[in-house]
Structure formats: structure tokens, C-alpha cells
Amino acid sequence: MKVRRLVITGADGFIGRRFMELYGSGFERATALVRSRPHPIRALPDVDYRVCDIANPTSLSSVVEQCDAVIHFAYDFANPLRNLDAVRHLLAMCRDAGARRFVHLSTIAVYDQTAKGELTETSAPAKYRDPYAHTKLRIENELANRARSVGLEVLILQPTIVFGWGGSWTRMVLEGCTCERVVLPAGGSSVCNYVYVDDVCQAVSKALTLAPWPDADHFQPRRYIISGPGTASWQDFYRQHCSLVG
């Protein structure tokens, strides 16, 4: 699939901005839907910033004309329910704009983390009521229920812990490195699944260009867990970060 006209939400966030830095120049037109126009110092070249509220259909419909694909990075932590409204309105926008593919950034937290054995895309959904995981799971279900009626190919990427400069996990770990004592899962010996932000961005880029579904169920969303190579303990994860700050 060739994507010439791209719409991206959350382009000024940690992963969204890094994606545009790495791949934004590869599109004829890249439209970034943002809550407020970034400061000129932070604005990326060749990106068409459009200020709108993606949870407001009137605001959204006035900023997008046509597009081939949408990448949905944005997430509102302050009001989880607005995220469901945003997805519904984005899907309607895709239908009106002629988009063919929708790439959604979810999380591995949508799965039951207490289950034994290897966690895969067919694992049981999360049981606990963490608002973030619960909302992300509801968004995935919303996409599955509406993709066919909108005529969209949906790819759902589910990264593990995403680290890198500017990310909340890296910031939290670096703050922990300045503390006298940090309490880690199983004393730091349990496995920490993580992935570098650039690898997540590469996965998003590949999701845009994957061949169309070969099977009969053309509009059944495909899910992909995104994680880094190998494994490390939580103690290793913290130690590697701490080595950066001495």
C-alpha cells in the first residue's frame, strides 16, 4: 500500500513526534491534528499542523479533506471517556476522507498480565480495572466493531514499555535513579519487557505499508505486540538508565 496523504494524531507527543522526525518527510502531505499549534522551535518542517479537538466531530470535520491513512497516537489521560468519542469521530472522518488504513497505538497492558506462559495476541484480556488499560481495550473493541462499516483496514500495535529521551518511562526511571531506594517487582529480578521508541516508530511505518489482508475477513483488525530483542530484569533496566546519569 502506498500512503501519500497521512493524518496523524498526537504528533506533538513522545512517540508521535519521534515518528514524524524519522518518517514525516516520506509523505506528499502529512497533516498533524493537535490541540494547540506547537511553538515554532518545536514545529517540524513539512508538517501541516491543524488545531482541532478530535473528540468534537464539528471541529474534526473542518480540518481534513482527503487522506490515505490515519495514525492514532493521541490519548487523553485526563478524561478517558473522551478517547472513545475521539475514535468514533476519527472513523467517521476516515469514511468521509476516503482513508483506507487506520493504525492505532494501543498497549500490551490490554492483556491479562497475571496469566502464566507466553503472552501473545490471542491471550486473555486484562482483568484488573486500570483506567488506561481498560480504555485502550475498549478502543480496540470499538475499532473491531466499526471497521467493516467504515471500510477500513485496521492495524493495532501493542508495544511493551517504550523507553527513550522524552518518554514518561525513561523520565520516571531517571528520577528513581536519584532516590536512595527504589522498590521493584520481585526485588528487581522479574522480567521487564521493553522496546526503544525508534523501534516502535519503525513498526508504525511498516504497518502503513503492509500488503492488504489476503483472507476473506478483510476488515478484521490485525494486532501486533511490539517488543525489543531479548529480555532483561527490572534491575537491569534501572541500572542501564542510572549509568547514563552517573
**pLDDT (tens digit, 9 = 90+) per residue, 86-111?**
999 999 999 999 999 999 999 999 99
In a domain, 240, yes or no: no
> Which residue in the block uniquely carries the three cell numbers 506547537?
38
Range of the domain at 121: 5-163+196-227
175, burial (CB in 10 Å: exposed 0-12, middle 13-18, buried 19+): exposed
In a domain, 239, yes or no: no
pTM: 0.93
Residues 50-92 have pLDDT tens digits of 999 999 888 887 788 899 999 999 999 999 889 999 999 999 9
Give me the number of domains the chain comprises: 1
Question: Beta strands 153-159 and 194-196: pairing type?
Answer: unpaired
Q: Coil, helix or strand for 29?
A: strand
CATH of the domain at 152: 3.40.50.720
CA dihedral 124, 126, 132, 135 (to 10 degrees): 60
In a domain, 191, yes or no: no
- Burial group, residue 23, by CB count within 10 angstroms (0-12, 13-18, 19+): middle
Select the more confidently predicted residue: 84 or 127. Answer: 84
- Amino acid letter, 147: A
- Domain membership flag for residue 180: no
Is 94 inside a domain boundary?
yes
Mean pLDDT across the chain, nearest whole number? Answer: 90
